[in-house]
Structure 1
């Protein structure tokens, strides 16, 4: 009985996401002033340093600190569960390995901020006229792209072989 290589090697992508996330947040912390937009593409994209003690869309941001530990536990738990899933996924199954790795990297990138600062550092702001999407970061992008790819993988590719 031969052992087929699993997709844990894809955790290297997670490490890359974490590194990019932390490097870009470090640059934002050095170069930007909090809540002062710096236009990148006028009318569409700003670098705007912001801090979020909550989760997506500032969910629970107004609470008195307990949410930090809730989101820390969720990030650790979800990342462990997804890493276990990777361990059961064939290495060549990129349709599942890619999104799982992106989500793990994003979750752990934001976890590092929570543990270091008690909040997540955001700096990318997309807007159009009077509408503005909440500021986000590389980790948030990896989580979002990973989640969309995982759904697409389940809906579009579930009946096809990898």
Structure 2
């Protein structure tokens, strides 16, 4: 995807395809985001991906037509990213898994929404028939966003995540079928 510029609430940012040069920033960004909120699957430092790991992910995503790795940048600093990851298995090659994360300081500027919209455009213009995702039940703003873009609740994984308050929470599984 070519770079697209956005300006929302006086914040200028761009969304573009990830490049190998982004790997170090992505490694640090993911570590920071995992520590900012419990909406992610990991706690800070868990399943750490270093610079080389991100370089490999970016390279793999560029080589596979069912993968898309986007970044959102403010003044060349990456503040969020999204990935669509598919596979080549005949029974599931029609769908991809979508995930998104944005630094908390940049919430409310449409970055997550625009990463989602660009991923949907990509899926709809290719042979992707379904986007799937999972979201923590307490993340109501994300659930509402996904519903606004055609995602439906497909299931609930009960007591799926143990959070810092010592309680278990459900994960909502959502999907969007391409028109």
Scaled by the length of structure 2, what TM-score is found?
Answer: 0.29
Scaled by the length of structure 1, what TM-score is found?
Answer: 0.31
Report the structure, 1 or 2, having the larger helix content: 1
Report the structure, 1 or 2, having the larger strand content: 2
Q: Higher relative CO (CA 8 A, sep ≥ 6), structure 1 or 2?
A: 1
